[in-house]
Amino acid sequence: QVQLVESGGGSVQPGGSLRLSCAASGSIANIRSMGWYRQAPGKQREMVATSTIGGYTNYADPVKGRFTISRDNAKNTMYLQMTALNPEDTAVYYCNGLTLNRIYWGQGTQVTVSS
């Protein structure tokens, strides 16, 4: 019922910035919260940032002060603005949407931070 498509990933040098986008379609009115998760090679998927329908946000400790989650309701798009990127941020980033009875995921977008 909900489709999520990420974009904006790529390669960047340490200290650089990227903005990820997540376009939502379908029954988006049922989405209660959305977020960004990431998974590095050999590691478990972890929460990066979340945002409820009421606008409350939460961030994982490693990204606090560097990443910002936001939403453009007119475009049905969620963003993750990433600054001061470091190699530890290298991962596949996934868009997540939570309804009352289901969790939806995008296909992921690769972010690589290296010299």
The answer to whether the beta carbons of residues 12 and 85 sit under 8 Å apart is yes
The two tokens of residue 58 are 């939460």
Q: Per-residue pLDDT tens for 12-35?
A: 999 999 999 999 999 988 889 999
Residue type present at position 3? Q
Residues 65 and 43: their CA atoms lie apart, in Å, by: 23
Q: Per-residue pLDDT tens for 38-85?
A: 999 999 999 999 998 788 999 999 999 999 999 998 999 999 999 999
